[in-house]
Structure 1
Amino acid sequence: MNGDRWVTVLLFVVALAVLGALVWVAGVEETLAALGRARLSLVAVVVALTVVWLVSWGLSLHVVLRALGAPVSVPRAVLVFTAAMFSNNITPFGQAGGEPVSALLISEAADSEYETGLAAIASVDTLHFVPSIGMALIGIGLFGMEAVATSRDLYLSVAVLVGLFVLVIGAAVLVYHYHHRIEQMLATAVTPIVRAVSRMVPGRTPPGTQAVENRIGNFFESIDRIGTDRRALALAGGFSTVGWFTLGVALWTAAISVGASIPLAAALVAVPIGSIAGATPLPGGSGAIETAFAAILVSLTTVSNGGAVAAVLVYRLATYWLPTIAGGLVAAALGAKSAQVQS
């Protein structure tokens, strides 16, 4: 555990170094001057929009858990989703690294099996990816052909986003149609690993092959249940879309707050495309996401380097640090409650 903590600390130091380099390249004086002009009333609006985003995506989790037969109240779903954001924000590779912890938090809150929580967060993350494509394309459409032609980087970014969309949807379709065969392959590969790890944990009895197969089967059954519930998919996707649009408006408002006015379309393009940088090894994509956002805004608009960086820093102050701090408190509370129940 101590080694993991030191790795996390080291990665945060690297993220801060990347942020420092970003500010230096953009111009320290220009960036600080823009931050100094920040209108606190608009910064408060960015924070409020962040809350709307968390509630929207928390509602998406609420819908998915209800479809899985593990319902929780709306407030609890929002709090659990915020805790999941905390785990994503402090682990490398963003959502990919934080999903196992998020699944544990969800299973504790919903009083369900771990594989149900894993299916829920995996489904929610997949649903979040689909509307991001549409929002980016809407942003490009608002720009018009002339604006798009001014930035070849935009073509590349959209191509990457669409490519990821095809891969994710293709993988989902393959898993849905061949899940029985995939279950067998996973059971064969995972069972020896799980048994070996269990032998190294004091007080733990290695699970049998059938137990591991049953858990894997339960996970795919949960995925199948969500995939066949069209009403739940539509409702969860709608809440996800509202969340994405709110994030775009939050970035747009953050830019206005520091005097770096940008078209709303630029923010709608920057948020989903820039978020791809969250897949980097840095905790929650810190440093990489800010750099991507700033680069996209500079390439799409006439905003200065310092103004773009200042806008992104205000945006990330709300959308990264607020969920991290609030989610950490929720995660700690859930952990304390679980410990009391077990004792």
Structure 2
Amino acid sequence: MDGNRVATLVGFAATLVVLAGLVWVVGIDDTLAALTTADPVALAAVAGIALCWLVSWGLALWTVLRALGSPVSPHIAILVFVAAVFSNNVTPFGQAGGEPLSALLISTAADTEYETGLAAIASVDTVHFLPSVGYAIVGFTFVAAGAVQLTRNLAFAAAAVAVLALGIPVAAVLGWQHRYRIEAAVIRGFTPVVTTVARVVPRWSPPSAASIEARIERFFAAIDRIATDRRTVIQTFGLSAFGWACLAASLWTSLYAVGAPVPAEVVLLVVPVGSIASVVPLPGGSGAIETVLVTLLVSTAPVSAPVATSAVLIHRVGSYLLPTLVGGGVATALGVDHAASPET
């Protein structure tokens, strides 16, 4: 646990360094000046839009859990999703790093197996990917059509959209087609590790290879159950698409707050592409995401770097800081309730 805390603190320290470097490069005084002119009503709207995003994606999780036979009330699903956002925001590599903890939170709240919780959050994240591609393609098409020339940053955006639209889906399809080979490789590699750990950790019995295989099979079965439920997929897709629209609206409103509204297609492109930066080894990708958002805004819209930076910081307060603070409290409450519940 101490090691995890140290790693988290180091990660946040690195994030602050990256953010400080970004503000220093674009101009500290100019960025602060833009922030001080922000419209208070627009700032309140950013917070409201962030709430709509959390509710929308929380309901997407509720829909998936219901399809898996582990229903919870809608408000509990929303709270659990906010807690999952917290886990993603405090672990390196964003969603990839936070998914194991998110699965634990979901399985605790829904009183279900860990594999079901993992399948639920993995399915929701997969569905979230689909509308982000659509928004990015639409945004890039209109931005490129109105651009005078293809700049280096626009070329980067085009490459990022191509990765979103082609690279990741191909990798996902290949991974699913060869899932049983992956399962066998995991069992071969994981079993010796847990056996070695069991020799060091007293009074701990490691899972057998058969037990690991059964858990993986349950995870695959849950994923397949969701994928073949057309109604669940459509409902989750719609809620996900609305959530992405809220995120784009949050950035647009943040720009409006500092007096720099931009065409809608700009934020439709910038927000999904910026999310790719969450794969960097920083808590929730923070620092990298802000840098990418500022870079793309400056290259795709008539907005100065300090103004873009101030707007991005406002946007990230709503879409990163607030969910992290609230989600931390929810995650703590879930942990306390789980610890207080009697063993069955």
1:198–1:41 CA distance, 2 compared to 1 (3 A): farther
User: Aligned partners of 2:71 and 2:295: how far apart in 1?
Assistant: 41
User: Aligned partners of 2:324 and 2:153: how far apart in 1?
Assistant: 31
Residue 185 (str. 1) matches residue 185 (str. 2): yes
Secondary structure of residue in 2 paired with 1:283: coil
The ranges of structure 1 where at least 4 consecutive aligned residues each deviate by more than 6 angstroms after the TM superposition are none
Does the 8 Å CA contact 2:89/2:283 hold for their aligned counterparts? Answer: yes
Secondary structure of residue in 1 paired with 2:76: helix
Amino acid at match of 1:174: L
Q: Percent identity?
A: 51
Secondary structure of residue in 1 paired with 2:69: coil
Query: 1:153 is matched with which residue?
Result: 153
Moved more, 232-241 or 187-196: 187-196
Query: 2:339 is matched with which residue?
Result: 339
User: Aligned partners of 1:133 and 1:53: how far apart in 2?
Assistant: 18
Amino acid at match of 2:236: A
Count of residues in Structure 1 that have an aligned counterpart in Structure 2 = 343
Query: 1:278 is matched with which residue?
Result: 278
Per-residue CA deviations over 1:291-341 (Å, capped at 9, x if unaligned) read 110011000011011100000000001110111000000000000000001
Secondary structure of residue in 1 paired with 2:341: helix
Q: Under a length normalisation based on structure 2, what TM-score does the superposition of the two structures give?
A: 0.95
Query: 1:10 is matched with which residue?
Result: 10
User: Aligned partners of 2:144 and 2:160: how far apart in 1?
Assistant: 20
Q: Under a length normalisation based on structure 1, what TM-score does the superposition of the two structures give?
A: 0.95
User: Aligned partners of 1:216 and 1:47: how far apart in 2?
Assistant: 39
Amino acid at match of 1:256: Y
Amino acid at match of 1:231: R
Does the 8 Å CA contact 1:151/1:300 hold for their aligned counterparts? Answer: no
Query: 1:78 is matched with which residue?
Result: 78
The 5 Å alignment of 1:242-253 reads: 242-253=242-253
Per-residue CA deviations over 1:227-246 (Å, capped at 9, x if unaligned) read 21122111111111110111
Residue 30 (str. 1) matches residue 30 (str. 2): yes
Unaligned runs of 5+ in 2: none
Query: 2:291 is matched with which residue?
Result: 291
Secondary structure of residue in 2 paired with 1:204: coil
Residue 128 (str. 1) matches residue 145 (str. 2): no
RMSD (Å) for aligned C-alpha atoms: 1.6
User: Aligned partners of 2:182 and 2:96: how far apart in 1?
Assistant: 20
Per-residue CA deviations over 1:256-310 (Å, capped at 9, x if unaligned) read 1011222221111110001111111111111111111001100001101110000
Q: CA deviation at 1:148?
A: 7.0
Amino acid at match of 1:184: A
Amino acid at match of 1:193: V
Query: 1:107 is matched with which residue?
Result: 107
Q: CA deviation at 1:150?
A: 4.5
Query: 1:69 is matched with which residue?
Result: 69
Does the 8 Å CA contact 2:153/2:295 hold for their aligned counterparts? Answer: no
Query: 1:172 is matched with which residue?
Result: 172
1:266–1:239 CA distance, 2 compared to 1 (3 A): same
Q: CA deviation at 1:198?
A: 4.1
Does the 8 Å CA contact 1:135/1:268 hold for their aligned counterparts? Answer: yes
User: Aligned partners of 2:183 and 2:292: how far apart in 1?
Assistant: 37
Amino acid at match of 1:270: V
Amino acid at match of 1:332: T
Per-residue CA deviations over 1:56-83 (Å, capped at 9, x if unaligned) read 1111111111121111111111110100
User: Aligned partners of 1:150 and 1:174: how far apart in 2?
Assistant: 33
Secondary structure of residue in 2 paired with 1:70: coil
Secondary structure of residue in 1 paired with 2:72: coil
Query: 1:54 is matched with which residue?
Result: 54
User: Aligned partners of 1:262 and 1:232: how far apart in 2?
Assistant: 35
Query: 1:257 is matched with which residue?
Result: 257
1:189–1:244 CA distance, 2 compared to 1 (3 A): same
Q: CA deviation at 1:2?
A: 1.3
User: Aligned partners of 1:281 and 1:58: how far apart in 2?
Assistant: 25
User: Aligned partners of 1:95 and 1:8: how far apart in 2?
Assistant: 15
Q: CA deviation at 1:188?
A: 2.5
